[in-house]
């Protein structure tokens, strides 16, 4: 009985240590002003121990502290006309308020009645306040000469503001106008380099590259890929930095891809022969007594090794036609291959040692495609980061 009690006490002590550690992390997040993260941590602490008083008290205090902190920051940012930070502060508060509506059932049952949960209209008002801040933040870019990255920042500010407060002033009109200014219209030149996989890169690889770019929800709003005749692309590249605004609306970004190298090692099978020795135990009858004897045996193990491999290296250069600058470049490698080993036993082997079974490995086209997928995925992610 004493042993059982000791085990229970040790388990409880472990739980207590865990929830106190989480509570400490939550308090550190509060000091950093990261109230949503603190609330999530404190939920975990209360879930571990619904009777953990300190965790419950701190969870109750997260929202009031966040309100005070938010108000003081907003006053400061508004005074300094720092609308980007003001909007971000509203977003954090909005996230916290929404989190209070989706708290874990265990926490809700324990604390729901004692929590100051914001009403629906409070959240709607907060969304409108945040929308106004985003509008003001976008407005700070008006009348300035902006590069491609600043133009998209301006659009994203207006766009988020419209999501939160679609009826505010002329935010819809500004969002639409800034979208056209931020639009990325891109095209790929003909793939150059090693000709053996040129068509496969153009047929499959470029599609994957586009998908990697459009996976970003923000970039998917502003990016259009076009198929443009190669002659027109060459003409656009020659005029890069001197094209008209109307021309840039039709095309402002060109990507050139080169196959630096491609290797394919087709399937081959090698075999190695090994003589294995083992000791066999057997019995004889001597003078009516069963006596154990030992003798050395040997067998041959033939080890087969079947393998293939493929490697491709792609490089790219991305040009901004507005000023002729290279805005992205890199070299990316893709590798694939398959291998299988099995043995065939010849001779008398010990129990449990048996011949293996040959199986098929991936086909050459499969591993070539896998290598291309790896390289184009890497290249696509880099284009996404730079486009």
pLDDT digits (tens, 9 = 90+) for 4-61: 444 444 444 444 578 888 888 888 888 888 888 888 888 888 888 877 778 778 887 8
Please give the average per-residue pLDDT across 355-376, as a whole number.
96
Phi and psi at residue 81, in whole multiples of 5°? 55, 35
Cα–Cα distance between 8 and 85 in angstroms, integer?
50
Please give the average per-residue pLDDT across 75-93, as a whole number.
86
Q: Looking at residue 364, what is its pLDDT?
A: 96
Q: Which CATH architecture has domain 183-387?
A: 2-Layer Sandwich (3.30)
Confidence band (pLDDT; 50, 70, 90) for 128? Answer: very high
Q: Looking at residue 39, what is its pLDDT?
A: 85
243: left (phi over 0), alpha (psi -120 to 50) or beta: beta
Spatial CB neighbours of 224, under 8 Å, sequence gap ≥ 6: 183, 184, 185, 186
Q: Looking at residue 13, what is its pLDDT?
A: 46
Tens digit of pLDDT for each residue in 209-256?
999 999 999 999 999 999 999 999 999 999 999 999 899 999 999 999
Bigger pLDDT: 4 vs 287: 287
Above 90 in pLDDT, residue 331?
Answer: yes
How far is residue 274 from each of residues 300, 341, 349, 354, measured CA to CA in Å? 6, 14, 13, 15
Q: Looking at residue 3, what is its pLDDT?
A: 52
Q: Looking at residue 386, what is its pLDDT?
A: 97
pLDDT > 70: what percent of the chain? 90
Burial class, 375, CB count within 10 angstroms (exposed 0-12 / middle 13-18 / buried 19+): buried
Q: Looking at residue 10, what is its pLDDT?
A: 44
Q: Looking at residue 120, what is its pLDDT?
A: 66
The answer to whether 384 and 208 are in contact (CB under 8 A) is: no
Above 50 in pLDDT, residue 122?
Answer: yes
Spatial CB neighbours of 348, under 8 Å, sequence gap ≥ 6: 297, 299
* Ranges 62-66, 209-213, 273-277, 338-342: which has the least confidence: 62-66
Please give the average per-residue pLDDT across 296-302, as a whole number.
97
How far is residue 102 from each of residues 42, 94, 105, 309, measured CA to CA in Å? 14, 13, 8, 50
Q: Looking at residue 94, what is its pLDDT?
A: 84
Tens digit of pLDDT for each residue in 134-157?
999 999 999 999 999 999 999 999
Above 80 in pLDDT, residue 97?
Answer: no
* Ranges 3-12, 104-113, 312-321: which has the least confidence: 3-12
Q: Looking at residue 210, what is its pLDDT?
A: 97
Tens digit of pLDDT for each residue in 164-203?
999 999 999 999 999 999 999 999 999 999 999 999 999 9
Closest alpha carbon to 257 in 328, 187, 317, 195: 317
Cα–Cα distance between 40 and 35 in angstroms, integer?
9
- Domain extent listing, the chain: 2-181, 183-387
Q: Looking at residue 272, what is its pLDDT?
A: 97
Structure tokens at 42: 């404190």
Mean of the per-residue pLDDT values of the chain: 89
Above 90 in pLDDT, residue 314?
Answer: yes
């Amino acid at each position: 009985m004493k042993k059982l009690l000791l085990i229970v006490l040790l388990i409880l002590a472990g739980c207590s240590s865990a929830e106190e550690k989480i509570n400490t992390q939550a308090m550190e997040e509060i000091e950093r002003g990261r109230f949503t993260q603190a609330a999530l941590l404190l939920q975990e602490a209360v879930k571990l121990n619904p009777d953990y008083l300190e965790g419950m008290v701190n969870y109750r205090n997260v929202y009031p502290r966040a309100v005070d902190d938010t108000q003081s920051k907003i006053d400061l940012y508004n005074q300094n006309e720092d609308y980007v930070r003001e909007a971000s502060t509203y977003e954090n508060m909005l996230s916290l308020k929404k989190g209070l509506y989706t708290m874990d059932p265990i926490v809700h049952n324990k604390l729901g009645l004692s929590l100051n949960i914001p009403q629906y209209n409070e959240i709607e008002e907060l969304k409108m306040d945040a929308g106004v801040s985003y509008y003001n933040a976008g407005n700070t870019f008006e009348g300035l000469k902006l590069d491609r990255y600043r133009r998209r920042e301006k659009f994203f500010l207006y766009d988020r503001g419209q999501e939160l407060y679609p009826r505010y002033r002329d935010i819809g009109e500004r969002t639409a106008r800034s979208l056209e200014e931020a639009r990325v219209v891109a095209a790929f030149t003909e793939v150059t380099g090693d000709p053996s996989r040129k068509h496969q890169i153009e047929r499959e690889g470029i599609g994957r590259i586009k998908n990697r770019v459009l996976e970003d929800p923000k970039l998917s709003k502003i990016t259009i890929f076009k198929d443009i005749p190669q002659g027109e692309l060459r003409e656009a590249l020659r005029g890069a930095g001197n094209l008209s605004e109307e021309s840039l609306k039709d095309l402002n970004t060109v990507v050139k891809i080169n196959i630096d190298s491609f290797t394919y090692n087709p399937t081959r099978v090698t075999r190695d022969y090994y003589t294995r020795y083992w000791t066999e135990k057997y019995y004889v009858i001597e003078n009516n007594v069963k006596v154990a004897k030992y003798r050395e045996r040997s067998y041959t193990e033939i080890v087969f090794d079947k393998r293939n491999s493929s490697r491709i290296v792609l490089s790219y250069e991305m040009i901004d036609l507005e000023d002729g600058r290279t805005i992205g470049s890199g070299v990316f490698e893709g590798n694939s291959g398959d291998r299988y080993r099995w043995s065939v036993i010849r001779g008398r082997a010990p129990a449990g040692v048996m011949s293996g079974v040959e199986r098929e490995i991936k086909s050459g086209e499969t591993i070539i495609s896998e290598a291309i997928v790896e390289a184009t995925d890497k290249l696509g992610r880099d284009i996404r980061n730079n486009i």
